Amino acid sequence: MKPTYPINFPALLVPASTELDRPLRIQKYPVRLGRSDSADIQLDDRWLSRNHCEIDVADGTLIIRDLGSKHGTYVNESQINETTIESGDELRIGITRFVVEIPKE
């Protein structure tokens, strides 16, 4: 059975590549990642679209959705449009990689 989460639980995106030097803490959903000034989390990666993807909570499940990016959003090396994510999953957007960490209560 997949874990369910409250709408305001924290999650970490831990860098799995050298593009970032610190984990990204997410505490508010939805959160949009991209190069744009309007993105909630701005990343300096020329392979990212301005608004690349979004992470949200739906029905107690953490989800990621691609926002029509040019180079795609990948979870565990599979390109996705929208899918659930869990602790330990690897995300790749552009050349930036993260591992999802969801703290246990």
State how many domains the chain has. Answer: 1
Question: Does any domain span residue 73?
Answer: yes
Question: Does any domain span residue 36?
Answer: yes
Residue 6 above 70 pLDDT?
no
Instruction: Find the mean pLDDT for residues 20-29.
Output: 81
Question: Does any domain span residue 63?
Answer: yes
Question: Does any domain span residue 58?
Answer: yes
- Predicted confidence at residue 76, as pLDDT, reads 98
Question: Does any domain span residue 6?
Answer: no
Question: Does any domain span residue 5?
Answer: no
CATH number reported for the structural domain that contains residue 90 in this entry: 2.60.200.20
At CB < 8 A and 24+ separation, what contacts does 82-86 make?
Answer: 84/2, 85/55, 86/2, 86/3, 86/62
pTM: predicted TM-score of the whole model, two decimal places: 0.85
Residue 105: pLDDT band (50, 70, 90) is low
Residue 92 above 60 pLDDT?
yes
Question: What is the residue range of 44's domain?
Answer: 11-101
